[in-house]
Amino acid sequence: MSLSHRPIDHLVLPVVDLATARLRLSALGFAVAPEARHPFGTENACVYFADSTYLEPLAIADQQIYDQNIPKTEFVRRDRAYRFRNGDDGFSAIVFKSENAAADHAAFAEAGIGVGDLFSFSRPYKLADGTEATAGFKLAFAADLRAPDLLFFTCERMQALAPDETLMGHQNGVTGIAGVLLGEDYPMEFEPLLQTLTRAGEADIHPDGFSTDALTAKLSVFTFDHLYRQYGIARSGAGRGIEPAAIVFEVADLENLADILKANEIASRQTGDGIAVPPAPGQGVTFIFREY
């Protein structure tokens, strides 16, 4: 199937270590996959959803291999820069699905947002029966110098990643990623960038920002005043440039989610249409849960 829009594939969430991330995400009612290592010194423990998106909590597995890859791997360079500027818990990259990463690489270069080389790698992952399979990826990177702490890339699957279906059945009832909220003082200055990345056509303009479609999810850029009024989200940095503010999840039953949060003593606040959970160790950005 040809992709006109670029749909979200996954979101990269740096964490101090996977044990902390697993503890936090499990307390939020998510099923977390077994750890998997990259050949360039990082490791993940993903949270997979029924809508074919996922979260990628990312930790440093081997500091020596990680350091060796800084000169030659854009992904590692950006991860190191993010951790240096923001700490070890956060939200560093938005990743889109791709059928042709090489074409994306060329398109990003033509648009003036391409960074790094086209990058291919593979990694093992565990199946439900304990055996290992291999997933292969080809990545094309994009970035904007005005937003140094947010990376974008497309991900073409060279060898399919097929997580066990039991990992997509979450206690909290989340079925997928509904959107990403970004903050910026003047949102419309970044509308061309997001339109280029999503290939969505016209954006939905709001008094306090805009939204653009990535098929099943929306990418929205709002002023920090709006984000604080609506969700209690404050600016994390002092400078200009879009920064991730929240991930919005589709949930089947908000009452069930509220019960999980209460049982696990997790702080939250009601928003106009859902529940917001502020960042904590292992969860580097606000999570917003909405019932659909």
3-state class (DSSP) for residue 258: helix
Minimal CA–CA distance to 16: which of 265, 288, 283, 287?
Answer: 283
CA angle 219, 225, 231 (to 5 degrees): 65
pLDDT in tens, 114-129: 999 999 888 777 666 6
pLDDT in tens, 11-66: 999 999 999 999 999 999 999 999 989 999 999 999 999 999 999 999 999 999 99
DSSP-derived letter for residue 233 is: P
User: With bands split at pLDDT 50, 70 and 90, how would you rate the model's confidence at 238?
Assistant: low
pLDDT, greater one: 129 or 187: 187
pLDDT in tens, 53-102: 999 999 999 999 999 999 999 999 999 999 999 999 999 999 999 999 99
Q: Check residue 161 and give its pLDDT.
A: 67
Mean predicted confidence (pLDDT) in 100-113 = 96
CA angle 106, 107, 108 (to 5 degrees): 90
Delineate the domains of the chain, giving CATH numbers in brackets.
Answer: 8-167 (3.10.180.10), 174-291 (3.10.180.10)
Q: Check residue 237 and give its pLDDT.
A: 75
Q: Check residue 1 and give its pLDDT.
A: 37
Q: Check residue 128 and give its pLDDT.
A: 60
pLDDT in tens, 190-234: 999 999 999 988 899 999 999 999 888 999 999 999 999 999 999
Amino acid letter, residue 254: L
Tokens of 67: 């350091």
pLDDT, greater one: 3 or 94: 94
Q: Check residue 122 and give its pLDDT.
A: 80
